[in-house]
Amino acid sequence: MSTASQVATHTTPADPAHPAVGAATSLLDAYTPGDHFLATPGRTLLSRGPGRHVPHDERPLTARVHAALTAAVTAGQESPVVIGAIPFDHTAPAALSVPESVRTAPALASDPLIALPAAVPAAGTWEIRQVPEPEIYGKGVTAAVERMWRGEFSKVVLARTLELTSGAPLDLPAMLQRLARRDPSGYTFALPTGPGRTLIGASPELLVSRHGEQVVANPLAGSTPRSADLAEDVRRAATLLESVKDLHEHAVVVDAVHQALAPHCTELTVPARPTLIRTATMWHLSTTVTGTLRSPDTSALKLALALHPTPAVCGTPTQTARQVITETEPFDRGFFTGVVGWGNAEGDGDWVVTIRCAEAEERTLRLYAGAGVVAASEPEAETAETAAKFRTFLSAVGAEL
């Protein structure tokens, strides 16, 4: 299921001589608040208008999604897809729906027009409140490290937020343009999560994809901020590849992904050492795990829920880390460190870790950033890492911390 026509009910026409020129960016340009927009390295999707909402009830989420897709097929809809967001707390309501139609195009990165610069953010003032304040966040890191040295757990991901309030209504299409054009090879999304609320962001991390029998996961863990100076940027990348602390943090996540996928695959390939990927603001240790599916009945969504949350966004052991997060973070994560993506009735799909994101409502943005805390962590370094991760979104709105 790799072609756009197999994924959705409507495919953007393309010039056979230039199949990608303008196809993906036209969907980016067409986005308006309330639409579902999702761009992956394989395709770009845009849906508009009413659809079948996936209800929140006692049934497993996979069963509810299957029922919604089956109902769409029964109603005569051709190749329906589910699209949307799943929260960090798996017991909270998801924001998933099966649109009546989806326009699709190739990947943004394959469209030459994506190289055109986005408009500079309009001049304006932002009121910024840090929750918690950096000093309080650092104390939380210190407390977690002390508990790790006592043997209570081995890793926790602690996050903080920025609450941005604008004097004017938010321009979500302009924000989406800047996010997409800054990192077109990543996963860019703008998804409604409630009346007047939008989850918007650009994540570098694929949780899992399934296309036919092939399964791919790309866990990221271990990060360092980039530098505008080329020599320093290369030095930081090389240092990250040799960092004992970061390599250990990464290995914990890769092992968890391996353990979660192994029961569902007949074979699984896990590289012995990570490589590097980069975004506009960060270097990340990266491992691409590939496998062959054991049963065609195992959907991409089922795999995503088996993986979620990985130690990269929660910690280990999972239940202990969740409790530490609840005790330490003075806010509800909502959809941050949850999952966004799409899936079809055949079980194919792409599901992405929800990071580098914000929740938008009227004139307010809540930005999120987290850092993996292990026994070797230092409060100043983890605070600096979250500040660097905020830069992805701050640059998209023309704000500075």
Q: How many Cβ atoms from other residues are within 10 Å of residue 47's Cβ? A: 25
Task: Quote the percentage of the chain above a pLDDT of 70.
Answer: 95
What tens digit of pLDDT does each residue of 260-308 get?
A: 999 999 999 999 999 999 998 899 999 999 999 999 999 999 999 999 9
What tens digit of pLDDT does each residue of 48-65 get?
A: 877 899 999 999 999 999
Does the pTM exceed 0.85?
yes
Write down the pLDDT at residue 283.
Answer: 95
Q: Is pLDDT of 200 > 50?
A: yes
Q: Which of 43-52, 229-238, 333-342 shows the lowest per-residue confidence on average (mean pLDDT)?
A: 43-52
Q: Where are the beta strands (DSSP E) in 174-312?
A: 187-194, 197-203, 206-211, 214-217, 220-225, 265-269, 275-278, 282-286, 289-293
DSSP per position, 349-388: EEEEE--SEEEEETTEEEEEEEEEE-TT--HHHHHHHHHH
Can you tell me the mean pLDDT for 66-77? Answer: 94
Write down the pLDDT at residue 116.
Answer: 93
Phi, psi (5° rounding) for residue 196? 75, 10
Write down the pLDDT at residue 20.
Answer: 62
Q: What is the overall mean pLDDT for the chain?
A: 92
Number of helical H runs and strand E runs in the chain: 9, 23
Given the residues 78, 100, 146, 205, the one annotated as active site = 205
Can you tell me the mean pLDDT for 180-203? Answer: 95
| 155 has catalytic annotation | yes
- Here the tokens at position 120 are 């500079």
Q: Is pLDDT of 14 > 50?
A: no
Given the residues 127, 155, 327, 361, the one annotated as active site = 155
Task: Quote the percentage of the chain above a pLDDT of 90.
Answer: 85
From CA 199, how far away is CA 393, in angstroms rounded? 12
Write down the pLDDT at residue 107.
Answer: 95
| 133 has catalytic annotation | no
Can you tell me the mean pLDDT for 125-153? Answer: 96
From CA 81, how far away is CA 68, in angstroms rounded? 9
- Here the tokens at position 158 are 């602690």
Write down the pLDDT at residue 305.
Answer: 97
When pLDDT is cut at 50, 70 and 90, the band that residue 9 belongs to is very low
Can you tell me the mean pLDDT for 69-95? Answer: 94
Measured in whole angstroms, how far is the alpha carbon of residue 62 from the centre of its chain?
19
Q: Is pLDDT of 1 > 70?
A: no
What tens digit of pLDDT does each residue of 295-349 get?
A: 999 999 999 999 999 999 999 999 999 999 999 999 999 999 999 999 999 999 9
When pLDDT is cut at 50, 70 and 90, the band that residue 121 belongs to is confident
Query: 187 pairs with which residues across the strands?
Result: 203
